[in-house]
């Protein structure tokens, strides 16, 4: 009876092995063969009955084969009727380059699925990425694994991703993480709703609510991508970036970590907490070292001024292209630095003081003095500036470097030796010794080290074409504007116009404004300066016309002005609040003093002519100087004439410290202790300075 039972067991085992087909095997035959479960190896196999069900019990180094997949275990119970295998002990599933291990599985044959359960289930792919969980189902036909109730994956470089559920596809070489996803990679931290990780190309794609951290920097968006091999990141959908000094918004962001280059597109805003400025644009390109920012697509710049009383006023500036960059002083082109120095020195000259000290007309009156010199240097320096869109370096080579070598007429170095008449060079140190001197020390003392390079950081600002500026009391328009901190002079080109307190209009061929101690100190009008001040709309206008003018400022108000080089002026005089007379003046020099914006007195100098006319006798032509052109319609009447872009309120207070920073609870469970040190370091950072700085921008 016992022998019969053993014989039946052997026949049942053999019946599970397919007959080897004769001739070639086609695809259908191969699939049929793979779909059958075969026991390749075991120390012992026998039939057992448990709870009324018959099982084939396999014990000792068992190996099954199904769908080209090998199942290794210590023991197994195979239910042929219900078509499943319960395997226990040292479980391994090997399929090509994918390895799965665990304590126990239930292999459901019709579903081609191995259901791993145990205190630790591990999947290792061909790239040595290790996925750990407690619950994992692996489809041997599709080569796809599903995990749930939490899992974490770590690669050979120490990068880690975790989520509640997910899957792995061996054919696609891709991990999908779904629900409460957290990622650590190359000092970057991310959380999102869903993450797809391409193991072959090492690309992570983020979907849903995405947030990232790098040092003290944070980013949030609706989706993104991280290309690890080339260190490039791309984010889209409501992108928000927060650093210690900056806060940025955009529709999309591209960032290259290797070159520290950023490219932002779509409704861009950059909030600078250090310089108290805001940049708005449709496109922003930013290089970190050396620092350079380029704004395109209706860009605008907003700066916030605050006076001693704490009253704030914003300045809005726009143009077709705005460029801002910094350089070390030692890297600035020598011609640019020399032109800036010349401009600054010329700007500090006071023509009226020169006249008083010399007792003769100021040289500026003829158009050839300091003011004119500043104009010439302004033109020379502007030719050295790059045009808009010059990328990416702000360094400018000489106009023709080859011409320098042509101008050098170096003598033949051999001819120097012919002029030497020292018969014995050894006699030289002897003569020094006779004087008690050491020739070696003398040579060393004669060497002077070159001065260290000037690494002072200087800034440049360029606004190109259709420039508009709005401040509550001053408005400006011109074609282009250039500024550098080397001379702290803003230069306006091509028909610049300025409006002051709405009723005053100022024109010239070009203008310059000197800033000292971060406040406006002087303004210069070069060539065809014309000042118009409206006294009565449509009828009476005070007018001053001269080749050049200089305005001096105190507390942001004009305290004095000088008109140079041949002045013509018209002033309307009122009696009992009624304008009755027009005074016309001509002179070589004119200077006026103002207090609280009101004209106190005017001094006329050299070749003075004066006429007075009753206003009722004046024709339209007689009441206007030549080239009079009052154009209030060109004035930017509000900040919306400069830019229609809105300004977003800071989100710094709600973002720091972030409540969403990952805790990596699954990573800590399955890779115990790995993330503890990193988390402790992050938790120890308290960037409270961020919260303090945001207060300035709350009420923009």
Is residue 549 within 8 Å of residue 527, measured between CB atoms? no
Residue recorded with tokens 């018959």: 54
Q: For the segment 60-113, what is each residue's pLDDT rounded down to a tens digit? A: 889 999 999 999 999 999 998 899 999 999 999 999 889 999 999 999 999 999
pTM of the model: 0.76
Is residue 174 within 8 Å of residue 126, measured between CB atoms? no
Strand-pairing partners, residue 532, are 505, 543
Question: According to the model, what pLDDT value does residue 506 have?
Answer: 95
C-alpha 39/C-alpha 24 separation (Å) is: 24
CATH number, domain 150-276+650-700: 2.60.450.10
Asked which of 45-49, 153-157, 433-437, 678-682 is least confident by mean pLDDT, the reply is 433-437
Asked which of 206-215, 289-298, 661-670, 691-700 is least confident by mean pLDDT, the reply is 691-700
Question: According to the model, what pLDDT value does residue 397 have?
Answer: 33
Q: For the segment 471-516, what is each residue's pLDDT rounded down to a tens digit? A: 998 999 999 999 999 999 999 999 999 998 888 999 999 999 999 9
Average confidence (pLDDT) over 316-337: 95
Helix axes 334-347, 370-384, angle to 10 degrees: 160
145 burial class (0-12, 13-18, 19+ CB within 10 angstroms)?
Answer: buried
* Candidates 2.40.30.10, 2.60.450.10, 1.20.120.850, 2.40.30.40; CATH matching 31-120: 2.60.450.10
Question: According to the model, what pLDDT value does residue 487 have?
Answer: 95
Q: For the segment 235-263, what is each residue's pLDDT rounded down to a tens digit? A: 999 999 998 888 999 999 999 999 999 99
Mean pLDDT for the chain? 81
Q: What percent of the chain has pLDDT over 70?
A: 78
More confident residue, 535 or 435: 535
Q: Is the pLDDT of residue 140 over 90?
A: yes
Q: Is the pLDDT of residue 661 over 80?
A: yes
Q: For the segment 209-239, what is each residue's pLDDT rounded down to a tens digit? A: 999 988 778 999 999 999 999 999 999 999 9
Which of 387-391, 420-424, 461-465 holds the top average pLDDT? 461-465
Q: What percent of the chain has pLDDT over 90?
A: 58
Q: Is the pLDDT of residue 371 over 70?
A: no
Asked which of 297-311, 347-361, 623-637 is least confident by mean pLDDT, the reply is 347-361
Q: Given pLDDT bands bounded at 50, 70 and 90, which one contains residue 555?
A: confident
Max alpha carbon distance in the chain (Å)?
145
Class of domain 327-384+456-641: mainly beta
Question: According to the model, what pLDDT value does residue 290 have?
Answer: 85
Q: For the segment 504-549, what is each residue's pLDDT rounded down to a tens digit? A: 999 999 999 999 988 889 999 999 999 999 999 989 999 999 999 9
Is residue 323 within 8 Å of residue 313, measured between CB atoms? no
Q: For the segment 141-179, what is each residue's pLDDT rounded down to a tens digit? A: 999 999 999 999 999 888 999 999 999 999 999 999 999
Count of other CB atoms within 10 angstroms of residue 614: 9
Q: Is the pLDDT of residue 450 over 80?
A: yes
Domain boundaries, the chain: 31-120, 150-276+650-700, 327-384+456-641
Average confidence (pLDDT) over 277-306: 92
DSSP string for 342-402: HHHHHHT--HHHHHHHHSS--GGGGT-SHHHHHHHHHHHHHHHSPPTT--S------S-TH
C-alpha 489/C-alpha 283 separation (Å) is: 27
C-alpha 624/C-alpha 621 separation (Å) is: 6
DSSP string for 234-299: EEEEEEEEE-SSEEEEEEEEEEETTTTEEEEEEEEEEEETTTTEEEEEEEEEEEETTEEEEEESS-
Is residue 225 within 8 Å of residue 233, measured between CB atoms? yes
Q: For the segment 664-683, what is each residue's pLDDT rounded down to a tens digit? A: 999 999 999 888 777 776 66
C-alpha 321/C-alpha 296 separation (Å) is: 5
Question: According to the model, what pLDDT value does residue 354 have?
Answer: 74
Backbone angles phi and psi of 255, in degrees to 5: -140, 130
């Amino acid at each position: 009876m016992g022998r019969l039972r053993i014989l039946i067991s052997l026949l049942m085992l053999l019946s599970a092995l397919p007959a080897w087909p004769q001739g070639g095997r086609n695809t259908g035959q191969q699939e049929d063969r793979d779909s059958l479960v075969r026991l390749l190896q075991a120390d012992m196999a026998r039939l057992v009955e448990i709870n009324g069900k018959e099982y084939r019990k396999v014990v000792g180094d068992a190996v099954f084969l199904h769908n080209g997949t090998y199942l290794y275990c210590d023991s197994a119970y195979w239910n042929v009727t219900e078509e499943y295998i319960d395997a226990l002990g040292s479980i391994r599933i090997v399929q090509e380059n994918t390895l799965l291990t665990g304590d126990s599985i239930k292999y459901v044959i019709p579903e081609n699925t191995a259901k791993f359960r145990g205190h630790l289930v591990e999947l290792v792919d061909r790239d040595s990425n290790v996925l750990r969980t407690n619950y994992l189902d692996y489809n041997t036909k599709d080569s796809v694994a599903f995990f749930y109730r939490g899992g974490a994956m770590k690669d050979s470089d120490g990068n880690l991703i975790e989520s509640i559920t997910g899957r792995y596809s061996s054919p696609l070489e891709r991990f999908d993480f779904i629900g409460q996803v957290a990622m650590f990679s190359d000092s970057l931290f991310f959380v999102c709703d869903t993450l797809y990780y391409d193991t072959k190309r090492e690309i992570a794609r983020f979907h849903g609510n995405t947030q990232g951290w790098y040092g003290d920097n944070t980013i949030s968006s609706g989706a993104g991508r991280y290309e690890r091999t080339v260190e490039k990141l791309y984010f889209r959908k409501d992108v928000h970036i927060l650093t210690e000094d900056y806060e940025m918004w955009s529709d999309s962001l591209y960032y290259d970590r290797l070159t520290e280059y950023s490219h932002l597109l779509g409704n861009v805003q950059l909030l600078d907490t250090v310089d108290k400025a805001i940049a708005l644009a449709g496109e922003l390109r930013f290089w970190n070292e050396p620092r350079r920012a380029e704004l395109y697509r209706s860009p605008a710049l907003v700066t916030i001024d605050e006076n001693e009383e704490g009253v704030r006023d914003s300045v809005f500036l726009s143009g077709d292209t705005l460029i801002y960059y910094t350089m070390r002083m030692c890297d600035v082109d020598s011609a640019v630095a020399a032109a800036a120095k010349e401009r600054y020195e010329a700007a500090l000259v006071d023509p009226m003081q020169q006249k008083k000290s010399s007792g003769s007309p100021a040289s500026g009156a003829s158009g050839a003095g300091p003011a004119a010199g500043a104009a010439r240097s302004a033109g020379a320096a502007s030719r050295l500036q790059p045009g808009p869109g010059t990328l990416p370096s702000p360094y400018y080579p000489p106009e023709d470097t080859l011409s320098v070598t042509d101008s050098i007429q170096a003598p033949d170095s051999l001819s120097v030796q012919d002029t030497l008449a020292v018969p014995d060079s050894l006699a030289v140190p002897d003569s020094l010794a006779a004087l008690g001197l050491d020739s070696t020390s003398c040579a060393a003392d004669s060497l002077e080290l070159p001065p260290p390079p000037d690494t002072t950081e200087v800034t440049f600002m360029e606004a190109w074409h259709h420039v508009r500026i709005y401040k509550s009391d001053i408005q400006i328009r011109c074609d282009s504007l250039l500024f550098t901190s080397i001379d702290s002079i803003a230069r306006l080109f091509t028909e610049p116009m300025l409006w002051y307190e709405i009723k005053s209009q100022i024109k010239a061929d070009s203008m310059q404004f000197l800033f000292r101690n971060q406040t406006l100190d002087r303004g210069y009008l070069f060539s065809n300066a014309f000042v118009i001040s409206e006294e009565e709309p449509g009828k009476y206008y005070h007018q001053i016309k001269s080749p050049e003018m200089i305005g001096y400022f105190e507390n942001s108000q004009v305290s004095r002005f000088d008109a140079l080089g041949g002045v013509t002026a018209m002033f309307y005089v009122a009696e009992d609040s009624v304008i009755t007379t027009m005074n016309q003046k001509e002179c070589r020099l004119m200077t006026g003093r103002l207090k609280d914006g009101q004209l106190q007195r005017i001094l006329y100098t050299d070749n003075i002519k004066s006429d007075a006319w009753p206003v009722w006798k004046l024709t339209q032509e007689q009441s206007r100087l030549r080239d009079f052109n009052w154009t209030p319609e060109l004035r930017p009447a509000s900040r919306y004439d400069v830019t229609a872009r809105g300004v977003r309120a800071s989100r710094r207070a709600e973002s720091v410290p972030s409540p969403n920073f990952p805790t990596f609870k699954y990573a800590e469970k399955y890779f115990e202790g790995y993330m503890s040190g990193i988390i402790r370091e992050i938790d120890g950072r308290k960037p409270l300075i961020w919260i303090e700085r945001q207060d300035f921008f709350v009420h923009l």
